[in-house]
Amino acid sequence: MSSTVELTKENFDQTVTDNGFVLIDFWAEWCGPCRQFAPVYEKAAEANPDLVFAKVDTEAQPELAAAFDIQSIPTLMIVRDQVAIFARPGALPAPALDDAIGWARKMDMDEVRRSVAAQQAENAGQAGDTE
């Protein structure tokens, strides 16, 4: 029994909206490193039942892969409070995955939101400068 959720373009937004902490593994069946990473990811999912561990099959869901500009697989993304705070290509070893989860758990999301808002305001200001 898998403890991960299969994400599709139909359930992606709802999953990310309904859950404050979602890890997403972008993968494909033909990808050797993806197959190597799968048991590490499953083990982490079992060890962290309070988090949502999801998978996006990039072959079946090319729109999602394109929307997140996934260039290589596997790529791990962590989304907290609907903000992508971590994205890294490559098959992470278990200690690195545990470190990434620990780092993401400690992330001050109020600070992240302030930073995102400041970046958006700066981008809006730059867009106004070009008119």
pLDDT of residue 126: 78
Taking every pair of Cα atoms in the chain, the longest distance, rounded to a whole number of angstroms, is: 56
What rounded mean pLDDT belongs to the chain? Answer: 92
pTM confidence score = 0.88
pLDDT of residue 1: 39
CB 66 within 8 A of CB 58: no
Residue 128 above 80 pLDDT? no
- In the residue annotation, 34 being an active-site residue is answered as yes
User: Catalytic residue among 23, 24, 34, 70, which?
Assistant: 34
Q: Which residues contact 44 (CB under 8 A, 6 or more apart)?
A: 23, 53, 94, 97, 98, 101
3-state SS, residue 47: helix
> Pairing between strand 52-57 and 5-6?
parallel
pLDDT of residue 123: 85
- In the residue annotation, 26 being an active-site residue is answered as no
- Residue 49: is the preceding peptide bond cis (ω within 30°)? no
- Closest-CA residue to 16 (of 80, 89, 60, 63): 80
Least confident range of 4-8, 101-105, 116-120: 116-120
User: Catalytic residue among 7, 23, 24, 31, which?
Assistant: 31
